[in-house]
Amino acid sequence: MDTSQILVTVGGVALIAGNLWFFFGKKATIKPAAKGALYACPMHPWITSDDPTADCSICGMKLVRSDEVGN
């Protein structure tokens, strides 16, 4: 393996690690919602629930607070 291959490999790993950190780090910062807050799927905002442990019935993603979905 020459230097350029090592750089590409290290760069790719760093990029993936950064994405994972961003994705999971962001999820980890979601705090329990206030009483009565509504949760929605980030991909399917019309899928909502008042249950913080609920999953999207379409894609199975964990629902997030609707005020953090981003619209």
Side-chain half-sphere exposure of 27, counting CA atoms within 13 A: 11
Q: Which of 58, 35, 34 is nearest to 45 (CA)?
A: 58
41 lines the binding site for Zn ion (CB under 5 A): yes
- In the complex, minimum distance from the CB of residue 40 to Zn ion, in angstroms, rounded to a whole number: 9
57 lines the binding site for Zn ion (CB under 5 A): no
30 lines the binding site for Zn ion (CB under 5 A): no
Question: DSSP character for 50?
Answer: S
6 lines the binding site for Zn ion (CB under 5 A): no
| Interface contacts to Zn ion, rule CB under 5 A | 41, 43-44, 56, 58-59, 61
